[in-house]
Amino acid sequence: MNNTIKTILFWVLAFIITATAAVYQKTTGPTYPKKAELKTNNNTYMLKLVRSHGGESDCPICFVVGDNKISAKLSYRQYPTNSEWTVVDMKREGDKLTGSLPHQPPAGKVEYKVDFYEDGTKLNAANEFYTITRFKGAVPGGILIPHIFFMFFAMMLSNFTAIMAFAKREKAVFYGWLTLAFLTLGGMIFGPIVQLYAFGDLWTGVPFGWDLTDNKTLIAFVAWIAALLMYRKQKKLGWLIAAAVVLILIFSIPHSMFGSELDYASGSVTQG
């Protein structure tokens, strides 16, 4: 097998590793819709409970439940508070049951639950359809898309660099510097701008806060700087492999865990 084919295979493997980690990170995070199953006397419906909403509008809650005999009540309150629950009937619009959660300031959260009924008989256990939604400001596509692209490409370059280093190819160093460049763009430049639009702060990691997303970006950034500096000193490709392992591990942590949260009592936004 010649080097060109090997390099292509290295890229394919790097992409697969990156895509797998990205999907895992996204789907296990606290803002990914929560899946739930509603069983009626005649059907089973797969539902999704929204857990994140951006923009200035109320957060729509919608379930496709075609049986007209099924009704639902939506209960909600600000989180974390001990305020009284607001309970409203969800509206039927064709095969959909719809409702909404009132708009909140960036980082504000609303906990909500849904109770389903068939001919007046409750179908679900208490809190079976319960979750928490976090509100955020709208992030322009011109900021969000580059951030996502640069971060994904940095992860793929990191994995490719590790594979090249494992194969003892000196060109791994070049791709290591590219990794740092894209990580700087995506994580240290566009990342804080996304944070500013979404939650009103440029940086909520160390030393200003404990936001896990910011802190894990910082760890990856420092790890790659350290690895490249150590390679210059010792000429050992193992440092690049170590940095790539650090990056893939920390970016496999579910997205948005321990993120910004509005304290309704004090009006301040906390992290972690």
Task: Write the pLDDT tens digit of every residue in 70-82.
Answer: 999 999 999 999 9
Tokens for 50?
């929204």
The single-letter code of the amino acid at 165 is A
Q: Where are the beta strands (DSSP E) in the chain?
A: 34-39, 44-49, 52-54, 59-64, 70-79, 86-89, 91-93, 96-101, 109-118, 121-122, 130-136, 261-262, 269-270
Mean pLDDT estimate for the chain:
93
Rounded (5°) CA angle 260-194-59: 60
Domains and CATH numbers, the chain: 3-29+139-270 (no CATH), 34-136 (2.60.40.10)
pLDDT > 70? residue 64: yes
Answer for the pair 176, 161: CB distance below 8 angstroms, yes or no: yes
Measured between alpha carbons, how far is 159 from 208 in angstroms, rounded to an integer? 30
Alpha-carbon distances, residue 258 vs 48, 74, 138, 173, 214 (angstroms): 22, 26, 20, 34, 10
Phi and psi at residue 62, to the nearest 5°: -145, 135
Residue 10 has pLDDT above 60, yes or no: yes
pLDDT digits 0-9 by tens, 245-258? 999 998 888 777 67
Residue 62: other Cβ atoms inside 10 A: 16
Calculate Rg over the CA atoms of the chain: 23
* Dihedral angle computed from the Cα positions of residues 46, 51, 55 and 58, in that order, rounded to the nearest 10 degrees: 70
Write down the residue that tokens 């910082």 correspond to: 218
Q: For residue range 20-50, what is the model confidence (pLDDT) as tens digits?
A: 998 888 888 888 999 999 999 889 999 999 9
